[in-house]
């Protein structure tokens, strides 16, 4: 009897260890699935995507929502043009960010595209020129797109200032980035007014082009907020400066994610509760993605 009890006890211990191992493997698989499902977002952010905004709706227009706070210690000259505002970084020869509000009426403009790239007369310091991009292998990629400035001739001309331009791989500029710009106009028509802020993400030691050593971004971001709707919305996108062949929603992230990546403070003029909501959450369905 003693020998049988010891043998049975040993078998029970072995079975218990195997069960525990299977449970651990199952938990690892579930966590891995959830993290993969989120893309760049955390599990907490996935769970928050369906949360509803419970604060007060905006009833009055708020000025300068398109203006962001540039990261401390980074070169920044704030320049205001008719159709957009930007923070110019003379170290990069690029904008830190370019922001503008786009209304439904502004998407129906009929001003013809300018196509005349010119230096920005308001930039202090080194002036980037059209020739800096010639034979570089990169497109002159708009941050505030010309198609969003068709409502006014001056706004159209100023959209071709080189301060609003970044070196972009052609496949991105003519591909998914262009598709996102088109979506932005659709969202502006639907929501009456949206706020758009976009710009480059530049590595510590970037490749440069042209005599004026224009930095080549590694990624681009676009922050979009619709703060005036009954259910406010916010979403952002980060795309590598290359041919992006995945669906648009695969590049979607929270606005908070872009702030963490860039050190830029977006939408700080919103009431705190509303700012926190639109920056921490995004719902792909509400953006028709």
Distance CA 160, CA 120 (A): 9
For tokens 């971001």, the residue is 221
Distance CA 136, CA 134 (A): 5
Q: Are 255 and 51 within 8 A, CB to CB? A: no
Query: Choosing from 81, 135, 142, 170, which is the catalytic residue?
Result: 142
Q: Are 150 and 156 within 8 A, CB to CB? A: yes
**Is 170 marked active-site?**
no
Closest alpha carbon to 177 in 204, 147, 149, 209: 147
Distance CA 186, CA 181 (A): 9
Distance CA 171, CA 85 (A): 27
What is the per-residue burial (b if ≥16 Cβ within 10 Å, else e) of 96-111? bbbbbbbeeebbebee
For tokens 């041919």, the residue is 243
Backbone angles phi, psi at 146, to 5 degrees: -60, -35
Distance CA 177, CA 194 (A): 18
Distance CA 250, CA 268 (A): 27
Distance CA 288, CA 82 (A): 30
Q: Looking at the annotation, which residues are catalytic? A: 142
């Amino acid at each position: 009897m003693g020998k049988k009890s010891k043998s049975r006890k040993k078998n029970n211990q072995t079975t218990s260890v195997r069960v525990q191992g299977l449970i651990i493997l199952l938990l690892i698989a579930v966590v891995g699935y959830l993290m993969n499902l989120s893309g760049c977002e955390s599990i907490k952010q996935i769970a928050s995507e369906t949360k509803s905004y419970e604060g007060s709706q905006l009833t009055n227009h708020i000025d300068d929502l398109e203006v962001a706070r540039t990261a401390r210690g980074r070169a920044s000259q704030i320049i205001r043009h008719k159709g957009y505002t930007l923070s110019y970084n003379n170290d990069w020869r690029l904008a830190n960010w370019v922001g503008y509000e786009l209304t439904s009426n502004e998407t129906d403009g009929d001003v013809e595209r300018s196509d005349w790239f010119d230096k920005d007369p308001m930039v202090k310091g080194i002036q980037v020129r059209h020739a800096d991009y010639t034979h570089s292998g990169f497109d002159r990629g708009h941050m505030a797109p010309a198609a969003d400035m068709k409502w006014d001739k001056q706004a159209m001309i100023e959209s071709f200032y080189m301060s609003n331009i970044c070196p972009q791989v052609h496949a991105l500029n003519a591909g998914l980035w262009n598709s996102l710009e088109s979506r932005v106009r659709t969202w502006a028509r639907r929501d009456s007014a949206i706020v758009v802020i976009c710009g480059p993400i530049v590595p510590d030691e970037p490749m440069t082009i042209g005599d004026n050593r224009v930095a080549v971004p590694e990624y681009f971001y676009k922050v979009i907020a619709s703060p005036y709707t009954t259910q406010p919305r916010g979403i952002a996108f980060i795309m590598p400066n290359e041919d992006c062949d995945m669906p648009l929603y695969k590049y979607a992230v929270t606005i908070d994610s872009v702030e963490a990546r860039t050190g830029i403070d977006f939408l700080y003029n919103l009431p705190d509760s509303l700012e926190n909501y639109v920056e921490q959450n995004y719902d792909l369905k509400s953006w028709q993605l």
